[in-house]
Structure 1
Amino acid sequence: MSELSLTWPWALTGLLVVPLLVVGYRRGLRMQEARRAALAADGLVVPAPARSRWRHLGPALLIGALGVMVLALTRPMASVAEPHREGTVVLAFDVSNSMAATDVKPSRLEAAKAAARGFVAKQPASVRIAVVAFGGTGLVTQRPTDDRAAVLAAVARLRPAGDTSLTDGILGGLSAIVGKPVKPPSDTEQGAGTGAAEESPVGYHGGTAIVLLTDGEDTTDESPSGAAELASAAGVKIEPIGLGTTTGTTITVDGFTLATALDESALRAVAETTGGTYRRASDAASLAAVYDAIELQWTTRTVPHEVTSWVAALAAVLLLGGATVSVLRQGRVI
């Protein structure tokens, strides 16, 4: 439901002329009737017939048009509830050595970056975007912002190097959302028997999502399940995107040839824990489609709109209606 406010409320003083016009109109009618009665008494005109109440319609419309015109002078503002998408999306990029593999052209990381640029361009200003780079550790390279240029610059700086820790990727995403470092669940668990989500000062952050772009190859012994449960308790969905092929390929690191392949098992478990959806992207085109499938919550916000033109249009309609009725009934406007 919209609310009406006035930018220049002092202009309403112009409405003081309306009662004056009403009084003047009624006085004019009385004078006209008295004159006609006097002429009828002298036999110069026939006595006035019974008048219909509708004879006041034309003047009433004209006076109403004047009142609405005065209202238009106040520059009225209507607050309207509009639906929009809002929230925070963290683009968490796996920047380990395996992301240089070329089983997704031109490489896993470059394909992820290209699709991310398309995703950023499509988001409304109400969606804030953060960038996290994770390998052996998770690093927030861009805090949540609506500055698209800053986000794109952070994405462009990503380079593959080092190992992979899915846990640090998730914790890095949570750190970006919370605005401060989030410790691993094992560091917050105490002997009191409470869970990690209860001990961690993460809080609740509905309407947020972490897009985990990785080949799923975790080079640590730590399972990402604890970090996923922490995200779930905070209301954060994790949308893992698997980059690469299950058949895999090889990469060269420091003169050594290493095999690498997409590992989907941990990514599926992370998605299931947080209410997200695991998707595989075998090329840049399908990766772009994956981004399009990510949904944020729809909310409403109150936006003020000036409605002067609508009020003025109503005044014009009343003025035209009053003039038309008056001409049809008495052959003149006034």
Structure 2
Amino acid sequence: MFEIYWPAAFALLPLPWLLRWLLPAAGRPASALHISFMRRLHQLEPAAGPQARRGTRWPWLLIWLLLVCAVSRPQLLGAPLAPSISGRDMMIAVDLSASMEIRDMQLQDQPLDRLGLVKHWLGAFIERRRGDRLGLILFGSKAYVQAPLTYDLDSVAQWLNESFIGLTGRDTAIGDAIGLGIKRLIQQPASSRVLLLITDGANTAGEIAPIQAAQLAAEQGIRIFTIGVGADSQQHEGLLGLLNGEVDPSIDLDETTLREVAEITGGTYFRARDSASLEAIYAQLDELEPSLRAGRPSHESIPLYPWPLGAAWLLSLGMAVQQARRQLHVA
């Protein structure tokens, strides 16, 4: 495809006429020799009339047009080039403990367990992170790396969808999940180290405490964003449909620790009470940790400006040679 990279250069085309109009006419030197019959010579018709003089202008106009065309940088666009990848490195840690199967969430007015809702909205979040490298940590009684940092986000989403409750044990090792995230992120550039931790409980297993792991993460410049999953208190119906007090399905959620972990590392704590709040959280994460945005697609380009530039040079050389010959002939 043909393209002119700088079309504004054609605004220079009337420049010679503007200069001719604005600048004063060049003065003629006074005659040093007076000839008595000079007046009669001026009355004679010159050998080169106005038509001949106009004919000598077109090479100069053509040269100027060729120079302007070269400045405008015409080019041929070839195949698109692969964009450079410079997004963020983010590890996502998802809780698979027994409490994640509690059905206190809803999706499109249908009851759903916590892990099912996390999978649904986390899948959409992963899809929006094109240009980033994502990794997946699954944790329960122990923490495991299910997907190392990769640009293959489709595989990360697939491994997330294939996870299930109890795959890594039925307890909750939050500290170990953070420690494993640190191990995977420590070798990455400091400006892009991010860990997203999603859980619905408190630390009940593992070898390292969450606060201690958060302090280690802060020393390594890793920011942790924590999401606590669980619905608010609900009225419980007893026998004969009578209300029998409130039930808090999120009683085991340790929000104090999750909030402190986020604050220590410079991150943020979010509470996901339902589908709408989880979607709003992911929208805020997109603003806090933006992924690589696609710019103007780049293409392989073949510059064409040497052609008009070379033509202008050859035409100028031809005119110079012709002028030299004319002077030799006169001499």
Above 0.5 in TM-score? yes
Counterpart check, 1:265 vs 2:266: no
Match of 1:23 in 2: none
Residues 231-256 of structure 1 show CA distances to partners (whole Å, capped at 9, x for unaligned) of 11111111101100353899xxxxxx
Q: Which of 283, 291, 294 is equivalent to 1:292?
A: 283
Residues 229-282 of structure 1 show CA distances to partners (whole Å, capped at 9, x for unaligned) of 1111111111101100353899xxxxxxx9752321110000000100101111
Q: Percent identity?
A: 27
Larger radius of gyration: 2
Match of 2:147 in 1: 142
Matches within 5 A, 1:1-334: 43-45=44-46, 58-64=61-67, 72=75, 86-105=87-106, 106-124=112-130, 126-161=131-166, 162-178=170-186, 205-220=190-205, 223-245=209-231, 247=233, 261=251, 262-294=253-285, 295-296=288-289, 305-308=299-302
Tell me how far apart the structure 2 counterparts of residues 70 and 238 of structure 1 sit (CA, whole Å).
48
SS of the counterpart of 1:213? strand
Q: Is the 8 A contact 1:137 1:165 kept in 2?
A: yes
Tell me how far apart the structure 2 counterparts of residues 109 and 263 of structure 1 sit (CA, whole Å).
18
Match of 1:12 in 2: none
Tell me how far apart the structure 1 counterparts of residues 152 and 212 of structure 2 sit (CA, whole Å).
32
Range that drifts further, 85-94 or 62-71: 62-71
SS of the counterpart of 1:206? helix
Gaps of 5+ in 2: 1-40, 107-111, 237-247, 313-331
Tell me how far apart the structure 2 counterparts of residues 76 and 58 of structure 1 sit (CA, whole Å).
32
Query: Following TM superposition, by how much is the alpha carbon of 1:176 offset from its aligned partner in structure 2, in angstroms?
Result: 3.3
SS of the counterpart of 1:239? strand
Tell me how far apart the structure 2 counterparts of residues 242 and 302 of structure 1 sit (CA, whole Å).
38
Tell me how far apart the structure 2 counterparts of residues 144 and 135 of structure 1 sit (CA, whole Å).
20
Tell me how far apart the structure 2 counterparts of residues 152 and 94 of structure 1 sit (CA, whole Å).
15
**Alignment RMSD (CA, Å):** 4.4
Q: Could you say if the C-alpha distance between residues 204 and 43 of structure 1 is closer, same or farther in structure 2, counting changes exceeding 3 Å?
A: closer
Higher relative contact order (CA 8 A, sep 6+): 1
Gaps of 5+ in 1: 1-39, 179-201, 251-257, 320-334
Tell me how far apart the structure 1 counterparts of residues 85 and 189 of structure 2 sit (CA, whole Å).
21
Equivalent pairs counted in the alignment come to 240
